[in-house]
Structure 1
């Protein structure tokens, strides 16, 4: 029995080390995507950025597309976790949507490198787009049920929210944000979705959770 446990232990340590190395490569790719276009990043650059041997990266990723997919999945998981945490105790779909738009613009202000990477990856990776779409659609449908939203087409409403959110982040990265940028973007998105001006202003200006 003890012999079996001892035999399994090195495998566990090796697995953890492999996961650490893989995460290090993903983090390195994220930093590179913050600085340059995804298509300009080579696998060997990822290895250099992660400070591992050049051949190590090929043990984890065969192509740049696989790296992009891994970064997209990591960002998607982070997105889902953040929204889930912020949404605890918030029953209103329109309120959740406002919170989501504002928090990601604020994150862009606090961490422009992260925002630059998100902007570049979101257009290339299906995983992060799906996570965002699922969350936004849930909030749109809840907003309709509570009478806060009124729009002609759900898919167009989804595109509007995502495009405005990413556009708000891009404005921050490019130094074009205005005072209370997150509030103003959220208010305009809510009004575009059919929320009355007074209600949109009130929702957008509410104190953020946490």
Structure 2
């Protein structure tokens, strides 16, 4: 006796967003935007939720409907800041086979974004300093590229954890330099070249990879 193929189960209808859901999403986004403005001006640890209420022009009670602590708020802002941009970099790098080159693209684009949007960069740097989990989230985006660069023989490092810290710390340090007005010409290229050298790339490969044209979106 052969088993009959199971009849396909009917898909559950997707419930449309109600006005309440849409309003809640708008309010949450408004709080994140207000937190971004605050974190671009002052340290996360110095920011009280009452200040967020004032910045967002809502009641303190409204804040607690979305974020119970400053730590929850900082994590949400950090995810919003880093995740969307990191996903954009991943999409742009999709056709690049070299892990070392993908790593270089990511570092350069984060530095260039700091030059283009100081408010974004200032808030991101402060959140990373405040929230170690945010540091780990950013490191997660470069882990596969590090491993691929090692497997292909371009990179030669002995400790993965140190390599991760090196990339994230150097990239955020370069963002700080940009914000402080200490960036040099071709800052993104120079920092990336030094990161690749520190990760074991030869001087010739580090120089070549760091200076490759960045991928362009549609």
TM-score of the pair, normalised by structure 1: 0.90
Structure 1 equivalent of residue 177 of structure 2: 171
Q: Is 1:208 paired with 2:208?
A: no
2:58 to 52, 59, 77: 52
2:167 to 138, 141, 161: 161
CA contact (8 A) 2:98 2:148 kept: yes
2:80 to 74, 81, 100: 74
Structure 2 equivalent of residue 39 of structure 1: 45
Structure 1 residue runs of 4 or more that deviate by more than 4 Å after TM superposition: none
CA contact (8 A) 2:53 2:59 kept: yes
Find the aligned partners of 2:160 and 2:133 in 1 and give their Cα distance: 20
Tell me, what secondary structure is at the counterpart of 1:131? helix
Residue 126 of structure 1, CA deviation: 4.8
Structure 2 equivalent of residue 5 of structure 1: none
Aligned CA RMSD, in angstroms, stands at 1.6
Residue 127 of structure 1, CA deviation: 4.7
CA contact (8 A) 1:93 1:138 kept: yes
Residue 122 of structure 1, CA deviation: 1.1
Structure with the largest fraction of helix: 1
Tell me, what secondary structure is at the counterpart of 2:130? coil
Structure 2 equivalent of residue 198 of structure 1: 204
Q: Is 1:146 paired with 2:141?
A: no
2:100 to 91, 94, 97: 94
Structure 1 stretches of 5 or more lacking a match?
1-7
Find the aligned partners of 1:158 and 1:17 in 2 and give their Cα distance: 39
Q: Deviations over 1:163-192 (max 9, x none)?
A: 110110010011100010000000010111
